Structure 1
Amino acid sequence: MRQKWSEEMPVVQFRIARPTDQLDKVVEFYMKGVGLKVIGSFNEHDGYDGVMLGLPGFAYHLEFTQHKDGSPCPAPTEDNLLVFYIPDREARDRIAGNLETMGYLPVEPENPYWGKRGITFEDPDGWRVVLQNTAGIGPN
């Protein structure tokens, strides 16, 4: 049985879902570049294809969907971020190197806080991802 977060919020799983018109490229970015694993997928479900990518434990994951008639999802502001807290700086740099090898170059964060210990990238749809090094500090 999965553990609940708290009695006030008895959630056992958390998913962020987002449409895209570039499902294959987005999945490659988060799998090959960032290192997430496929934990589920579906094809032609009411006109949608989708892939769920996650971290160990599967309690937190991302879902990307694409409709057969198109699924545009313009990126929000440059300060809407998906932040991965990575305590090992070498591991963070290795992930950044994977993304750079794939042709994704770091971008300047809108908020300078994220540039102090983090490296910001844009995924194929222009959504921003921060690889934040947390060595020696808490996650805030």
Structure 2
Amino acid sequence: MAAVFPNGARVEMIRIARPTRRLEEVVAFYRDGLGLPVIGEFREHAGYDGVMLGLPGRDLHLEFTHDAHGTPGDAPSRDNLLVLYLPDEAALERFRAALTALGHAPVEPENPYWYGKSLSFEDPDGWRVVLFDQTKKEAAD
């Protein structure tokens, strides 16, 4: 179902794309650690390889591309975040277990807003994912 933006334009899907030099490692982090399904991929398209991962039941996608001669994809700061709002601590614990099983330990958030109500993890390029426990939202506000 298309979203209608304030200017009246209809948008069918949103895809956030970024480059990486560690395509396989980054895909494993999001696919195996966060459980995002691979919804498409391509190889050697104008010199690029890429993998698209979808958020279940949504028209929101993450795309990671690799070009041996392109930009590296490293995070510009520790506060570039993808925040997943989770319904409860049990969901947070499922993500924590999957990510730690892959060798990813939680990292300290740069912004103190996230302390005590979320966990932050870095992907192989240094981009951060925040797992926010919404049952602790009142403490956040």
Normalising by structure 2, what TM-score?
0.89
SS in 2 for 1:78: coil
Match of residue 4 from structure 2: 5
Match of residue 117 from structure 2: 117
Q: Which runs of 5+ in 2 are unaligned?
A: none
Over 3 Å off, 4+ runs:
68-71, 136-140
Instruction: Using the TM superposition, give the Cα deviation of residue 69 of structure 1 relative to its aligned residue in structure 2, in angstroms.
Output: 3.2
Q: Which runs of 5+ in 1 are unaligned?
A: none
- The residue identity in structure 2 corresponding to 1:3 is A
- The residue identity in structure 2 corresponding to 1:54 is G
Query: Separation in 1 of the partners of 2:74 and 2:2?
Result: 35
2:21 touches 2:68 (CA, 8 Å); kept in 1? Answer: no
The aligned runs of 1:19-34 (5 Å cut-off) are 19-34=19-34
Normalising by structure 1, what TM-score?
0.90
Over the aligned positions, Cα root-mean-square deviation in angstroms equals 2.0
For this pair of structures, how many residues does the alignment match? Answer: 139
Match of residue 48 from structure 2: 48
Instruction: Using the TM superposition, give the Cα deviation of residue 91 of structure 1 relative to its aligned residue in structure 2, in angstroms.
Output: 1.4
Instruction: Using the TM superposition, give the Cα deviation of residue 7 of structure 1 relative to its aligned residue in structure 2, in angstroms.
Output: 5.5
Matched residues, percent identical?
53
- The residue identity in structure 2 corresponding to 1:21 is R
- 2:88 equivalent to 1:94: no
SS in 1 for 2:93: helix
Instruction: Using the TM superposition, give the Cα deviation of residue 58 of structure 1 relative to its aligned residue in structure 2, in angstroms.
Output: 4.0
